Amino acid sequence: MPNLKFAFRTLFKTPFVTIVAIVSLALGIGANAAIFSLFNQLLMKPLPVAEPLRLVNLAAPGPKPGSTSCSQAGDCETVFSYPMFRDLEKGQTPFTGIAAHLSFGANLSARGLTQDGEGMLVSGSYFPVLGLTPAIGRLLTPDDDRAPGESHVVVLGYTYWQSRFGADPAVLGQPLIVNGQTMTIVGVAPKGFDGTTLGVKPKVYAPITMRVNIRTKVQPNTARSSSSAACMPHCSESRSALPG
């Protein structure tokens, strides 16, 4: 006890040094926690999907046909233009499925309230390839991915459904305005699933064929991760993961 009192007296005698030491410790602990969290997400924590070890990212070194911008979407080798994704989807044979996704800034309006957030445009194969089951309703399917501008449907992220709608199951069939486009809510993504892009937690998922309608500031044949870029295919192979 005397040693503890002596330590406190010493600290109070040099408040500047004490404050610097405390701030340094706080910054060090915070930085370590942030680094571990990122490391855990990137390398240790698997995606909350049916068979995460059977998923791989496609990569294609060198120039690609179509319009792409990979400055913000990710490494250029793993970014594909929308037309190229469709060609890959038609021509691929080694995989059980191939899917694409791209994020966008979303202005969401429902029940008289408006909120900004992140959205994800996904191919109709996205949820089936990941093997996900909806919390309620249904997820997007290839039937929602047939023709451009045809499917005005949307799936809510689980966290957004809870925070914005109070986990109300009656939300199914209700309208949600996404960037000025009236969409119909058809389902809610499973609990714990926040998409497949690190740092992006989508509030909504919409068909990739609605990309022109929802993202009017971007040219039709481009896609983006933050502001411009392209589709990033993900696929699963029937036996095990393949090299990118």
Tens-digit pLDDT profile for residues 220-241: 333 333 222 233 444 443 332 3
Query: Do 177 and 122 belong together in one domain?
Result: yes
pTM of the model: 0.72
Residue 11 in any domain: the answer is yes
Of the two residues 39 and 183, the one the predictor is more confident about is 183
DSSP-derived secondary structure letter, 94: S
In a shared domain, residues 127 and 25: no
Q: Are residues 25 and 105 in the same domain?
A: no
Regarding whether 9 and 117 lie in a shared domain, the answer is no
Instruction: List the structure tokens of 140.
Output: 């997007």
For residues 87 and 8, state if they share a domain. no
218 lies in which domain range?
Answer: 52-237
Neighbours of 171 (CB within 10 A): 20
Give a yes or no: residue 171 inside a domain.
yes
Say whether both 210 and 129 belong to one domain.
yes
Q: Which two tokens stand for residue 190?
A: 């499973």
Ordered alpha helix ranges (H), the chain: 2-13, 15-39, 82-91, 126-130, 158-165, 211-214
Confidence band, pLDDT 50/70/90 cuts, at residue 212: confident
Q: Is 129 exposed, middle or buried (0-12, 13-18, 19+ CB in 10 A)?
A: buried
For the purposes of burial, counting CB atoms within 10 Å of the CB of 138, is it exposed (0-12), middle (13-18) or buried (19 or more)?
middle
Residues 27 and 112 grouped into a single domain: no
Answer yes or no: do 165 and 127 share one domain: yes
**What is the pLDDT confidence band of residue 3, given thresholds at 50, 70 and 90?**
low
**Are residues 7 and 76 both part of a single domain?**
no
Q: Determine the average pLDDT of the residues in 48-69.
A: 71
CA dist., res. 161 & res. 211, Å (int):
22
Looking at residue 150, what is its pLDDT? 92
d(CA 193, CA 48): 6
Tokens (6 digits) for 24: 């340094």
244 within a domain of the structure (yes/no): no
Give 226: exposed, middle or buried? Use CB within 10 Å, 0-12, 13-18, 19+.
middle
Model confidence pLDDT, tens digit, residues 113-135 = 999 999 999 999 999 999 999 99
Are 37 and 73 in the same domain? no
**Domain shared by 222 and 143, yes or no:** yes
Please give the tally of structural domains in the chain.
Answer: 2
86/202 same-domain check: yes
- Grade residue 217 by pLDDT with cuts at 50, 70 and 90: very low
